[in-house]
Amino acid sequence: MRAESNGTSRRILCVFPRYTSSFGTFEYSYPLTDGVRAFMPPQGLLLISAYLPQDWQVKFVDENLRRTTREEFEWAEAVFVSGMHIQRQQMNDICRRAHEFDLAVALGGPSVSACPDYYPSFDYLHVGELGDATNQLIEILSRDTSRPESQVVLTTRDRVPMTEFPIPAYELADVKKYFLGSIQYSSGCPYQCEFCDIPGLYGRNPRIKSPEQIIAELDRLRECGMTDTVYFVDDNFIGNRKAAMDLLPHLIEWQKQTGYVMRLACEATLNIAKRPEILEKMREAFFITIFCGIETPDPGALHAMHKDHNMMVPILEGVRTINSYGMEVVSGIIMGLDTDKPNTTDALLAFVEESQIPLLTINLLQALPKTPLWDRLEREGRLVHDEGRDSNVDFLLPYDDVVSSWKYCMEVAYAPEKVYARYQHQCDYTYANRLNVPVAPEMKTWPNIKRGLIMLRNIFWQIGVRGDYRRVFWKFAFGRIRRGDLEGLIGSATIAHHLITFARAASSGKQNASNYSIRLREAAVPAE
């Protein structure tokens, strides 16, 4: 589906901002690859690019790959931007640069939808999802691309059904330069966790695409050169369990037909561990990773944040159940909760040790607009509007103590020997349970073999020779080599290097203690 045109052709420049360095963008892994330079293709801008009228010309620039050129701004008649809170500073910078060419700039996406007041300089604010506001913006630009006298805010009231979404314009993105592929199946989540803004932004009744749409998107990604892991960016893959079960047979059949050239990953609530019928189908579809927002191992804290569904199965049992189907668990952890105690740090580190989860995104609590947490803290007078802090929450424990505990957790949890011990556990008890798939002919080609050799060379040189934790690395590497598990070696070493390097910066105070921090930093991922 595309928007209708009134016969006027326009030139639209879509610009995606750089990320500020964060734990979840894996930028320290990129030098170990064969040319990866950015995290994931941005779904929002690529969807909008595909939705624009057929006769409109579109250019797409991801500033995580390179900076927008003067020639591109001169070519454009209007600029579209989208992004998350962590990209706020960079979005405002793109607006400033576009205004130097007297271009009208429209901003959409999750950050502006939650906090329009963050972006007073933009000409058009698109609040909400694809829908009538999008059509209004297109209609306005069809008539006149000059900058309006004052900011125009367009809010979606009538959303386009996801079954009518076009395939995102993946062909505009150089997908081979991304760490992960991205695909969206659903929007919204039925749960109401206190700290989460998803229900407020996208609703509690998950909207979904058809299985045929997902298969078509996977085909397009493959046509564009993506043969690695594709991440379902849904807020909760099992938000609609029946729909997930309807989709999985299609994914299984597609994987069989294409030779399992892609690995799949997603985000889901931990209670997926109570659904063996879903986990078995996910294993057959070659899902290898599930991000679970565990948040805390403390049952009392889970109850206080309205995340009781994490207690439908004992947390450690749930993690091991998921591992038994060959899927590694990645976990979100929050520090600074009202229920935290002086011994919370020790309890958290004990959980890391027991769970053997290699990758846990440990963040300080941040109150986001459009969440019950924001509303409660506002009533209690505990929102702190100080952009020099890592959190906007007035913790019950002393702020400096909470930040120090976070730094300590990062230092201990991501010490090289501990990270590699957890990856060794995954190799032995998780990866070994994965579907034994045949090697597709296209994976045996010289370009693919060359790619693997380049990554091995980079890993051996930068970690095994130049790295200061090379002894830990070689102990792990020799074990993988003896078993002929080069894939496990490459995958584990690549991620581990990012975790170790980022955690060292975090424990020394050189990184924000929250992915949503209001403490603005210059983007640490340069656009060259």
Report the C-alpha gap between 328 and 386 in whole angstroms.
37
The pLDDT of residue 439: 82
What rounded mean pLDDT belongs to the chain? 94
The widest CA-to-CA distance across the chain, in whole angstroms, is 68
- Other beta carbons less than 10 A from residue 438's beta carbon: 9
| Higher pLDDT among residues 52 and 23, named by residue | 52
Q: pLDDT digit string (tens) for 294-346?
A: 999 999 999 999 898 888 889 999 999 999 999 999 999 999 999 999 999 99
| pLDDT band at residue 515 under the 50/70/90 scheme | low
Report the C-alpha gap between 393 and 356 in whole angstroms.
30
- Percentage of the residues of the chain whose pLDDT score is greater than 90: 84
Report the C-alpha gap between 131 and 141 in whole angstroms.
16
Q: Domains in the chain and their CATH numbers?
A: 10-155 (3.40.50), 180-429 (3.20.20.70)
Helices 399-413, 344-355: axis angle to 10 degrees equals: 20
Q: pLDDT digit string (tens) for 440-463?
A: 787 788 888 899 999 999 999 999
Here the tokens at position 399 are: 């702020």
Report the C-alpha gap between 430 and 213 in whole angstroms.
31
Report the C-alpha gap between 166 and 250 in whole angstroms.
19
Going from the C-alpha of 22 to that of each of 94, 265, 361, 409, the distances in angstroms are: 20, 20, 10, 16
Give yes or no for residue 516 having a pLDDT over 70: no
Report the C-alpha gap between 211 and 382 in whole angstroms.
45
The pLDDT of residue 92: 97
Q: pLDDT digit string (tens) for 78-121?
A: 999 999 988 999 999 999 999 999 999 999 999 999 999 999 99
Report the C-alpha gap between 346 and 367 in whole angstroms.
24
Question: Which element (helix H / strand E) includes 300?
Answer: helix 299-304
Q: pLDDT digit string (tens) for 467-513?
A: 999 999 999 999 999 999 999 999 999 999 999 999 999 998 888 77
Q: What is the mean pLDDT of residues 243-272?
A: 96
Quote the pTM value.
0.93
Report the C-alpha gap between 507 and 412 in whole angstroms.
9
Q: pLDDT digit string (tens) for 359-384?
A: 999 999 999 988 999 999 999 999 99
The pLDDT of residue 231: 97
